[in-house]
Amino acid sequence: MPTAKQTIELSPQYLALSSFTNFLSTKQTTLEELTSGITPTTPSSTISTYLETLWNSLLLLVCQTEWSSLTHIKLASLLQQLQAGPPDPSPFLEQTGDDKNTPLPKYNDTEFTWSQLPDLNIYIRDWYNFSPPYTSPSTSTPLSGLTFGKDEWMNLNAFLATLTKTSLSKDSETTVPSLPTDYSLYAIWSLRSLEVEPNALKTLDPADIQTAAVWIVTAKNEIYELCKEKREYDGNLARGGDGFKDEGWKGFSLERWAVWENAFRELLELEGEKEDGDIGVMRLTRQAGVVMRMTAARDS
């Protein structure tokens, strides 16, 4: 019996996305393939199943792709275009041309629209729950048959950072009414792992360190701008880490940026003092520290 991973890899959605990332099909063709599966007469239950396969296909492909790959940028651009509206001819428009009276399919008691990328957040949060620490061999996975570990975790977060960068970029390809692909809160959740007492930095999981660095390297400008703007979130969603619980933080700030920058500097020193220092950790912490200094310096 095939695993969930194998089933996803054989799905039309995965094959369409894979073909696009391998430069075997255009963005227009891919969007037509992905959106043609939902029409005005598609039942809600069928839409749910289709979206489950689509988003799991996307996230599987993301996790299979090295975090710094241009594939993440291609997929983020594809989602942005999908959000802006299905390609012409849309399956929602009647061929008679009387498109104003064409009903949209119902999904979750509302009219279905691609503009909010329905259910994507649900599946991203589901995959995000498979966070460090990881055992060896790893048995915890969002899809049976998929080995989910540090590399997959870094790749997933890099894609969320790429989506956030694409959403908040002033050079965005399209103009959309809202930003369902802004995952900046996830940046805080990753970078919060650095918000510990100085003597606790040496006990951090390498996967947490590298993932925090990946967020900075990928979306440094957007994160810095959010810190300058002091973007905040409701409740305790963006609270400080274990070493900064009493700071009353509710979001981004330049004070928090300084804490992260200092943590990367100290982590690099700690890793360099080890006889068996992790090259991957050293490389990414150094890169994160450099880009943070350069980003702040450009603003001074």
| HEC profile of 19-56 | HHHCCCCCHHHHHHHHHCCCCCCCCHHHHHHHHHHHHH
pLDDT reading at 228 higher than 60: yes
Give pLDDT, residue 94. 40
Crossing angle between the packed helical segments 71-84 and 44-63, to the nearest 10 degrees: 160
Q: How far apart are CA 257 and CA 66, in angstroms?
A: 26
Q: Please report the pLDDT score of residue 84 as a whole number.
A: 85
pLDDT of residue 95: 38
Boundaries of every domain in the chain: 1-92+103-170, 183-300
Q: Which residues contact 272 (CB under 8 A, 6 or more apart)?
A: 282
Residue closest to 153 by CA, chosen among 284, 260, 64, 52: 64
pLDDT for res 280: 85
Residue 86 has pLDDT above 80, yes or no: no
Q: Note whether 244 and 259 are within 8 A (CB).
A: yes
List, for residues 48-66, the tens digit of each pLDDT value: 999 999 999 999 999 999 9
What integer is the mean pLDDT of 293-300?
89
- The model's pTM is 0.91
